[in-house]
Amino acid sequence: MSSIPKPSGPDVDIGHQFLVTSWILYSIATIVVALRLFAQLKVNRKLGWGDGLMVISLFFGILSGIMLTIAHHYGFGRHFFYLTASERVKSQQFTFINEPLGIAGSAFGRLSFMTLMYRLFGTTKYRRWFIIFLMGETIVINLVTAITIFTQCPDVRSLWDPVGYPGKCWSPLVQEYTGFFQGSCNAATDLTLTFLPAYIFWSLQMTMKMKLGLASLMCLSIFAFIASLVKVILLKSLGERSDYTFNTVPFFTWINVENTLVIIAASIPMIRPLFASPAKKTSSYEMNNRYGSAHAGNKGYALSSRPHVSAGTGKFDNSSEEVILPVQGGKGELGSIVKTIAFTVKEDEEQAVGGDYGVAERGWGIRKK
């Protein structure tokens, strides 16, 4: 104990506040993901790749919270000086095991959001390849960072028990600098995922009110960006091993904030169909996958608050992703925004009749079924 500096303060435990904050955030994230899955199953009757990636993200996030909860049991949140030798080893062991889990949680959450971006905005070759680049960059950088954590020492147990398993490990600065690079790249990715929808919405032929509404729905990654920046600033605590169990609490708190904000920001747009007004007579924006007379040979797309039923097939031909905003036309261009006044006579679950009055990008047109 003589080699460990005595802190200026008493033996306090800030881990309780950390656990309360973390589990509240993950509870909210779990509810949002559950609503997302329910919306997909209700509207599309199946789940997609983005939904699977989001479930994996939530799984790793909750597993990370469990590891830190166990670490708190052994002293995480208290000053290192006041812990027993066994508590020091165990608390550090579970915090180190937690780190790659936290990295995986945020990485899979971003990949899920990129999947949505690819589906909605991959209307040109350059956008598709740019989003694919973001996906590859996210996978490589976060994977390398996670691997680096456990390759610092010849025996990984030296990380949390240098006395019992002595060995020559890398300087703690290596993990700190690697974390700086990984965190900065994630923050840049969040910023990109924030401005990409805003840039595309600005170029669409729609009212400013609708542009702002869609931007607020799809640009929630700005909050994950802010959390990523705060986490990068707090990364220095990883190199301060003399009071590791106390100094790293703010850092791990912001890891959980970042992870949950990524999950929530990527999932909220997907639950929009659940809050649509199920009126018999409604004015809405609908995604139609149908050919419009205003653009000969080009599909017309529009926003929707309810699923469209294909004539003749009686099947839903759109998903909860497609009811968020216009996607693309037949030649890779954004299709027309169509205001639909639908009158539905529901004799059974899969029959609908109505009339369309379309507003194309370059003029007015009336389309009939």
pLDDT in tens, 176-211: 888 889 989 999 999 998 888 888 877 777 777 777
- Decide if 302 contacts 338 (C-beta within 8 A): yes
Residue 194's CB: how many other CB atoms inside 10 A?
A: 20
Structural domain contains residue 105: yes
Please give the Cα distance from 122 to 132 (Å, whole number): 10
What span, in angstroms and rounded, lies between the C-alpha atoms of 155 and 87? 20
Which pLDDT does position 276 carry in this prediction? 61
In a domain, 298, yes or no: no
What CATH code is carried by the domain that includes residue 200? 1.20.1070
Least Cα distance to 56 among 130, 139, 131 occurs for: 139
Residue 9 resides in a domain: no
Global confidence as pTM: 0.73
Both tokens of residue 81? 């000086």
With tokens 């993901």, the residue in question is 33
- Which range of residues forms the domain containing residue 103? 14-275
Q: Taking the CB of residue 254, how many other CB atoms lie within 10 A of it?
A: 21
CA pair distance 296, 130, nearest whole angstrom: 30
Residue whose token pair is 């659940």: 274
**Residue 116 included in any domain:** yes
Q: Which residues are within 8 A (CB) of 169 and not within 5 positions of it... i.e. 6 or more apart? A: 152, 153, 154, 158, 159, 162
In a domain, 167, yes or no: yes
Which residues, at least 6 apart from 227, have a Cβ–Cβ distance to it below 8 Å? 254, 257, 258, 261
18 lies in a domain?
A: yes
Query: What's the rounded Cα separation, in Å, for the pair 311 and 227?
Result: 47
Pair 112, 193: CB distance under 8 Å: no
Question: Do residues 67 and 97 lie in contact, with contact meaning Cβ atoms separated by under 8 Å?
Answer: yes
> Per the domain annotation, does 284 fall within a domain?
no
**End-to-end Cα, the chain, rounded Å:** 81
Question: Based on the structure, what is the number of domains in the chain?
Answer: 1
- Give the chain's radius of gyration (CA, Å): 25
Q: Would you state the pLDDT for residue 324?
A: 52
Cβ proximity of 77 and 57 under 8 Å: no
Q: What CA–CA distance (Å, rounded) separates 270 from 325?
A: 11
Domain for residue 171, yes or no? yes
Q: Determine the residue type at 112.
A: S
pLDDT tens, the chain, 369 aa long: 447 878 887 889 999 999 999 999 999 999 999 999 998 888 777 888 899 999 999 999 999 999 999 999 999 999 999 999 999 999 999 999 999 999 999 999 999 999 988 888 887 888 899 999 999 999 999 999 999 988 888 888 998 988 888 888 888 788 788 888 998 999 999 999 888 888 887 777 777 777 777 777 777 888 888 988 888 888 877 767 778 899 899 999 999 999 999 999 889 888 877 776 554 333 333 333 332 333 333 333 333 333 344 444 444 344 444 445 443 333 333 333 333 434 444 444 333 333 333 333 333 333 333
